[in-house]
Amino acid sequence: MNFTFTKEQLMIQQMAKEFAEKYLEPVAEQVDRENKIPDEILKGLAELDLFGIPYAEEYGGAGGGYDGYVLAMEQISRACSGVAMTISAHSLSLSAINVFGTEEQKKKYMTPACKGEHIASFAFTEPQTGSDPKQLATTAKKVGNEYILNGTKRFISNANWPGVAVIFAVDDQTGKPSGFLVEKFCEGYSISEPWDKIGMHGGQLLDIYLKDVRVPAENMLGGPSMGYPILQLGISFGKVGVSSTALGGILAAYEEGVKYATEKMHRDAPISKFQAVQLRIADMAIKYEAARWLTYRLGCLANNVKDPRAFAKEAALTKTFVCDTMVDVARISIDIHGSYGLMNDYKIAKIYKDAIIGPEIEGVADMQKLIVAGVTLAERK
């Protein structure tokens, strides 16, 4: 095993860190308050190729691999989780296209998205079904050389920006879910107002309404009835982004706890003098290191997925551990802050609200544990 970063990895990490400190941190409070990412931030991310780190240069990407992606996302989320959430959902969509798309589809849809000209979406969840493929209600009816899509999608990231959306619908030719590449804001596409979620502001979630949306047959992704395989592997790649976002939150909570402990005075000495506070700092350090190397490992595994089922297990266990750990570390940091940690004037309050989102998105924690157990038991047969 080699835990030493390459020159390229260090460059990606440093680039993201500098951008986060110089541009994201000064506007993080504004993003949290307005639930909107400023256009100049999106432009800056695009100029640094941060929308396409893992993908090949031939599709407009930076060729930095998922290991480089993890390093960048940690630094971005450390400064502003909503920006990281936006990139994570965008990358989930591109990863699905990268694996299942034709050469023509990849060049057409990935290239502008990797360059940050478009921001991609991944639309599976529905109001009445959650994420159960067997209860999918959105329909795709084939008429000539087109499919006509009708339905509603819920809690969709990036639905408010132009670009491609991977939309899942029951194909009337097979009666099973299929994936379709849909240009957002085409005729028949509309969206709701953003949901007022508790944290990760700036990473907006909206509903998508599809009313007789016409999609060329060649925009089917991966072929008929391939919806579930696309969902399964796509979400596994998505968990790389979610885990990285949570890791950045852990680092932010850890740093805020140490900062407060060394600056808050009690009888002419910082509260870090107390053993109880020192034990909490140690707990945060231990949890961060465990989460860090598990997430970095997942990034390396994502670079070369040979067995999708085994990768799904690693993604599920990493996402569960790291997201749960963010909640733990944020709570420990609040303990260090005492009553001040409950005040929105302090950054740790925002971090805690960001933290409790992680275990509930991209598959709830219990479902991830069932994936881990299912693959583990199958491997023993």
Pick from 360, 333, 354: which is nearest to 78 by CA? Answer: 354
CB 210 within 8 A of CB 188: yes
Pick from 250, 258, 261: which is nearest to 289 by CA? Answer: 250
Q: What's the DSSP call for residue 359?
A: G
Measure CA 301 to chain center: 17
Of all helices (H) and strands (E), which one includes residue 266? Answer: strand 265-266
CA dist list (Å): 177 to 137, 192, 223, 335, 379: 10, 24, 10, 47, 27
Measure CA 105 to chain center: 22
Selecting among 47, 218, 362, 379, the annotated active-site residue is: 362
For residue 150, the tally of other CB atoms under 10 A from its CB is: 16
3-class secondary-structure state, position 154: strand
Pick from 24, 27, 25: which is nearest to 48 by CA? Answer: 24
d(CA 320, CA 318): 5
CB 343 within 8 A of CB 264: no
Residue 362 is among the residues annotated as catalytic for this protein: yes
d(CA 324, CA 173): 41
d(CA 199, CA 85): 11
Locate 174 and state its tokens: 């097979």
Rg (CA), the chain: 21
Q: Which residues are catalytic?
A: 362
